[in-house]
Structure 1
Amino acid sequence: MEAFRPRPIEALLTGRARPIGAPGAVEVLSGIGKQARQGALWLALDGLEGDEQGDRVYHGGPEKALHHYAAEHYPQWRDWYPGSPVPYAAGAFGENISTHGISERDVHVGDVFRVGETLVQVSQGRQPCFRVNLRFGRPDAALALQSSGHTGWYYRVLREGWLAAGDVFELVDRTCPDWPLARAIAAMFPIDPGAPGLRDEWLRASQLAPLVPRWRTTFERRLASGQIEDWHLRLNGPPV
């Protein structure tokens, strides 16, 4: 197993579903605004105690029980988009877990971690949606998050239990050593749709058993059609 340096949770965060959007515009419910919590919280199969999502069709649930974001990405966002109405700090992108030293390049598809009393498994990267635009007041924020590859990632819960800031991520199992999450994210959101070898990446990704079924199905559909699906609605929201 490739070496992995254990890292502690620096902030454990939850949020209630609240309306977001510009004053006078169409508002949507979202739990993207997270606040750090003190003490231990119960992590169940479908998510963290006290955490909510505004749209349970596309957010939350067993395959997206816990969202992790690398805190070291935030200085880059402050450089790219200064003057944000939301500070670029832990919780800004709706994450439940904030750490330093664990990024999309460090975790792999299907990695199993022991943290606190729980066991969690990397299930997929994040697919940013238009709620990110509403949160930061920028029409291109979701696209920028997707294009950066710094999307964060989700866990499924293999063992429920108590979780708290200070608990340490310890790697228990790595079944896909050739698939850092950054590779899967690059296959899902290719910068160059015509890049040589991209279809081979889709084929290999579609065969990764620990990868969330929705991602595997997407890769299979691309292989069959030869086309990438339209991201406009997800990234920009419904027409107003």
Structure 2
Amino acid sequence: MRLLSISAGKVAKLFGSHHPNYAMVASAIGKQSLSNLSQRTPIEITTLGVVGDEQADLSVHGGIEKAIYVYPAEHYPFWNTLLTRETQKLVELTFGAIGENFTIEGLLETQLYIGDRLTIGELEFTVVKLREPCFKFNAKMRYKGAAKAMLQSGFSGWYLRVNRTGLIAAGAAIDIIPGQRITSIADQNKALLNRGNQSDLWE
């Protein structure tokens, strides 16, 4: 298990016909890789996440409890295939495209539980919850069914709280310190899917 990329983004205008009430919203979902396997630049991580990263709506992203959004690289082929089919254009997403801060390999939603701790390099994090997609994800992906696809596939990724701050670079190894292991990220996603009140995701 290792960290493949660290990404950050600035708040910018996000346009799309993916919500009945908004033609444009502010979002920092557009992330760019700052450290990756070809350029392993050390990046500072504070209790609020990647230095330089921004969030437009702190009620749903960011803050101490959602400081870092993590996404498995193993899911990228799913999105490339889906978006290529739906948009009729070749899509090859780059790391950070899902809006994540950390792109990782070797660890999936089925293997990680709320309260587990992760050590990445010399830093330590706690797994807090899954990422719940919204209409902004649809706009970012340029596909109205993107949020629904994330929910139905279970390829949500998850948020981390930062326990130990410092510098980190792509290529760092990831280790798990298990918590009580009661509710997995996959379990959270199933519960969200079964609530049946997620129609706003794909209006």
Which band: TM-score by shorter chain? 0.7 to 0.9
Name which of 27, 34, 37 aligns with 1:37: 34
Cα distance, 1:99–1:156 mapped onto 2, change above 3 Å: same
Structure 1, residues 51-72: CA drift from partner, whole Å, max 9, x if none?
1111122111111100111111
Q: 2:189 aligns with which of 185, 190, 209?
A: 185
Number of equivalences: 191
Q: Deviations over 1:180-236 (max 9, x none)?
A: 32122212222xxxxxxxxxxxxxxxxxxxxxxxxxxxxxxxxxxxxx473344x24
Aligned to 1:175: 179
| Residues 169 and 84 (structure 1), Cα distance of their counterparts in 2 relative to 1, 3 Å cut | farther
Q: TM-score, normalised by structure 1?
A: 0.73
Matched, 1:75 2:87: no
The answer on 1:16 being equivalent to 2:10 is yes
* C-alpha distance in structure 1 between counterparts of 2:163 and 2:184, whole Å: 20
**Which consecutive unaligned segments of at least 5 residues does structure 1 have?**
1-6, 191-227
Q: Does the alignment pair 1:54 with 2:56?
A: yes
Work out the CA distance in 2 between the residues paired with 1:52 and 1:158.
20
2:171 corresponds in structure 1 to 166
- Kept in 2, the 8 Å contact 1:86–1:136? The answer is no
Structure 2 equivalent of residue 231 of structure 1: 198
> What amino acid is aligned across from residue 7 of structure 2 in structure 1?
L
C-alpha distance in 2, partners of 1:84/1:12?
Answer: 27
CA RMSD of aligned residues (A): 2.1
Which structure has more strand as a fraction of its residues? 2
- Which stretches of structure 1, 4 residues or more, deviate above 6 A after TM superposition? none
Q: Which has the higher contact order (CA 8 A, sep 6+)?
A: 2
Q: Identity rate of aligned residues, in percent?
A: 32
| 2:38 equivalent in structure 1 | none
Unaligned runs of 5+ in 2: 36-40
> Which AA in structure 2 matches 1:177?
R
- TM-score when scaled to structure 2? 0.85
Q: Residue 87 of structure 1 aligns to which amino acid in structure 2?
A: E
TM-superposed CA distance for 1:84, in Å, is 5.7
How far off is 1:127 after superposition? 0.4
2:104 aligns with one of 91, 99, 103: 99
CA pair 101-135 structure 1, distance change in 2 beyond 3 A? same
Match of 1:36, as an amino acid? S
